[in-house]
Amino acid sequence: MPKTRPPYPAEFRQQMIELAGTGRTPAELSREFNVSAQTISNWVAQAARDRGLPPPGKEGLTTAEREELVRLRRQLKRVQEERDILGKGYGLVCREKRRDVDAVFGLVMTNQAAHCIRTQCRVLGVSASGYYAWRDRSPSPREVENAVVTERIRQAHADSDETYGMPRIRAELMDQGLRISRHRVARLMRVAGIRGVSRRRFIVTTRRDERQRPAADLVNRQFRATGPDQLWVADMTYVPTWVGFIYLAVVIDVWSRKVVGWSIGEQMTSELVLNALNMALEQRRPDGVIHHSDQGSQYTSVTFGNRSKEMGVRPSMGTVGDAYDNAMAESFFASLECELIDRRTFKTRTEARMAVFTWIEGWHNPRRRHSGLGYRSPVNFERNQQAHQPAAQTEAQREQAIA
C-alpha cells in the first residue's frame, strides 16, 4: 500500500465545493467523506479565487496561474539543463562538419549521472541510438593503439618531472622505436590534458663595476662551435628560499650545451664564478677556449682575470642588461627557472642546493633533450660525436694512404 494518498479526482473536489456551497461546513463533510476539514477549506478558497472573489486573508494565485507557474518552472529547469550541457560541450557543437563524434559521445557518457542521455543527445545534435551503438561497440585497433601511446606519453612526461612538451615527448617516443607524427602526439597530449611548462620573463641580475674595464666581445651573438671547448658561456642567477637566497654560477659548453662547471653559494662574489671556472677547467682541460659572460663585477674582477690569463682562457663580455648578448646562458636559466624554481618552494638553502645539483647533474646534462642538439641530451650528444670521430679519422687516413 502506498505511503502517500494519490490526489483526489477533479470531480470529487468539485462535488465537495458544491456541497460546501449549500451551507454544509467543512467539519461535517470531513466526518462524512473522510477528507480533512483543512483540505476542503483550501478547495473552497481556491474556487473562490478562480471566480475572482477570494475570501478575506486568503488572496493568492488562481488555478490557471498556478498551472502557468508550474509550466514556466519546468521550462526554466529544461533551459538551465540545456545551458549546462552546452557549456560542457563548448566547441563540440559549433562546427559545420562534425568530425569529433567520439568526443561528443564521450561527453554524454561522462555527464550521464547529471543529465538525461536523450536530452544531452538532443542538445548536442547527435542521435541517442548512435550514442548507444557507440557505447556498446568494441574499441577499434586505432583506439587501442592511441590508448597505449597515451600511456607512453604519460610516462615520458612523468619522467621529465612533467616539464616536456610535444617536441621532446615525440623525441622520447622516437628513441623508443615508435614512428609517430608531431600532430598525433600533440592531439593525444591535448586529449589527455598533458602539457609542458612555459618559461617566465627575464630578470636582470647583472651589476657592473664601473672601476673595472670589461673585456671585448669576441662572440657578437654568434653562439656556434664546431667542436668541444671552443666557446664557453657563463652567467649567474639566484634561487629563493624561505630563509634567503642562494646563487648559482655556471659555465656551459656551446658545442654540446653541457654544464661543464658550476658553483653554488650564498653570496654573489668573484669566488663563486671562479669556482665554476675552476671546475670547468679541471673537467675539460681546454686549449685557448673563449669564456663569454656579461659585464658583472664578478667577471671583471682582478682575481677572475688573473686566473683566466694563467690558464689561457680568452675572456669575452657582452653589454650590460642585454639578454641577447648572452642568450645561451639566459636560455639555460630560463629552463632552470620554469622547470624547477617556479614549480618548487624551498624551505632551506640546503634543500635548494640539492635540488639545483640534481637538476643539473641528474637531469640537464645526462637526460634533458635539447632542440639545438637534435633532441639529444648533452651527454648523449658528446658520446655520439666521439663515437663518430674515430670512424671519420680512419676514413681520412685511408684516403691519405691511397693518395
pLDDT-wise least confident of 94-108, 136-150, 309-323: 94-108
Q: What is the mean pLDDT of residues 148-156?
A: 90
Within-domain flag for 307 = yes
Greatest CA span in the chain, whole angstroms? Answer: 134
Task: State yes or no: pLDDT of 72 exceeds 80.
Answer: yes
Which cell numbers in the block locate residue 390?
674515430
The predicted pLDDT at position 204 comes to: 46
132, 250: one domain: no
75, 30: one domain: no
146, 132: one domain: no
Which cell numbers in the block locate residue 117?
542521455
181, 129: one domain: no
Cα dihedral 211, 213, 214, 217 sign:
positive
- Count CB atoms within 10 A of the CB of residue 264: 20
The predicted pLDDT at position 212 comes to: 53
The predicted pLDDT at position 242 comes to: 93
Highest mean pLDDT among 290-294, 348-352, 393-397: 348-352
Within-domain flag for 319 = yes
Which cell numbers in the block locate residue 212?
673595472
pTM over 0.85: no
Q: Is 94 helix (H, G, I), strand (E, B) or coil?
A: coil
Residue in 37, 36, 33, 35 with CA at minimum distance from that of residue 25? 37
Q: What is the mean pLDDT of residues 242-247?
A: 92
Q: Is 157 helix (H, G, I), strand (E, B) or coil?
A: helix
Name the residue with cell 623525441: 171
334, 356: one domain: yes
* Parent domain of 168: 141-192
Highest mean pLDDT among 12-16, 41-45, 287-291: 287-291
251, 319: one domain: yes
Task: State yes or no: pLDDT of 210 exceeds 90.
Answer: no
Within-domain flag for 199 = no
The predicted pLDDT at position 23 comes to: 83
Average pLDDT of the chain is 82
- Count CB atoms within 10 A of the CB of residue 226: 7
Strand partners, 216: none
374, 236: one domain: yes
Within-domain flag for 93 = yes
Q: What is the mean pLDDT of residues 308-329?
A: 81
Within-domain flag for 393 = no
The predicted pLDDT at position 229 comes to: 92
Within-domain flag for 212 = no
In the chain, the number of structural domains is 4
